[in-house]
């Protein structure tokens, strides 16, 4: 019986590990309050001047995209492309911040893929900030407005420094199911021990 509890615990840990696994192309989904007017600010910042780029692809929302801002003072070096098409953030020319600001009226969610396969050298950080104003003074989704940040390291490895997308309902269900299994086993075991204590002694 003890091994059953261990298996359930391991299963729940695997679910958590799967949710944080990282690949070259990562799908991100954010659940939002319908009707909220917001701004999505993507930026790509090199740490040591190494030439590299990332792409935002397959952007999808049941909301409404508003104006895109691609010039100063709203952005520094605009990414090429436009949502819902592919955005390319390329630091190879300027070795500076590449950014993109997009207005949006939220539906229930928005999602996109981030393709890190063109990252070749240096150290950079890709992030998404969400706010209700263009200046970023009124954050949405998180306390700071920082919804996603990914570190691209100098050894060409990629790691999720922090990711704040709300997990999909199926992932939440699996995590809760695994946890409930562990709790259920503990309760069942305690009841079994209580029954043994309360059982009358057999008379020889």
pLDDT in tens, 167-179: 444 444 455 545 5
Of 107, 109, 125, the closest CA to residue 163 belongs to 125
Contacts of 142 (CB under 8 A, 6+ apart): 130, 164
pTM beyond 0.85, yes or no:
no
pLDDT in tens, 102-147: 999 999 999 999 998 776 556 788 999 999 999 999 999 999 999 9
Taking the CB of residue 140, how many other CB atoms lie within 10 A of it? 21
Domain ranges of the chain: 22-163
């Amino acid at each position: 019986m003890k091994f059953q509890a261990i298996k359930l615990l391991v299963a729940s840990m695997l679910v958590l590990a799967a949710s944080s696994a990282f690949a070259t192309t990562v799908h991100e989904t954010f659940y939002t309050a319908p009707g909220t007017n917001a701004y999505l600010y993507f930026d790509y910042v090199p740490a040591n001047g190494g030439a590299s780029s990332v792409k935002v692809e397959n952007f999808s929302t049941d909301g409404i995209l508003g104006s895109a801002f691609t010039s100063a003072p709203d952005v520094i070096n605009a990414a090429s492309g436009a949502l819902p098409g592919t955005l390319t953030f390329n630091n190879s020319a300027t070795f500076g911040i590449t950014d993109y600001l997009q207005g949006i009226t939220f539906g229930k969610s928005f999602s996109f893929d981030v393709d890190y396969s063109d990252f070749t050298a240096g150290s950079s950080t890709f992030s998404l900030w969400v706010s209700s104003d263009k200046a970023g003074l009124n954050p949405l989704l998180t306390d700071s407005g920082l919804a996603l940040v990914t570190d691209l390291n100098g050894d060409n490895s990629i790691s999720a420094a922090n990711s704040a997308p709300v997990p999909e309902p199926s992932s939440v269900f699996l995590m809760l199911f695994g946890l409930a299994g562990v709790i259920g086993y503990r309760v069942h075991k305690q009841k079994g021990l209580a029954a043994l204590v309360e059982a009358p002694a057999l008379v020889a």
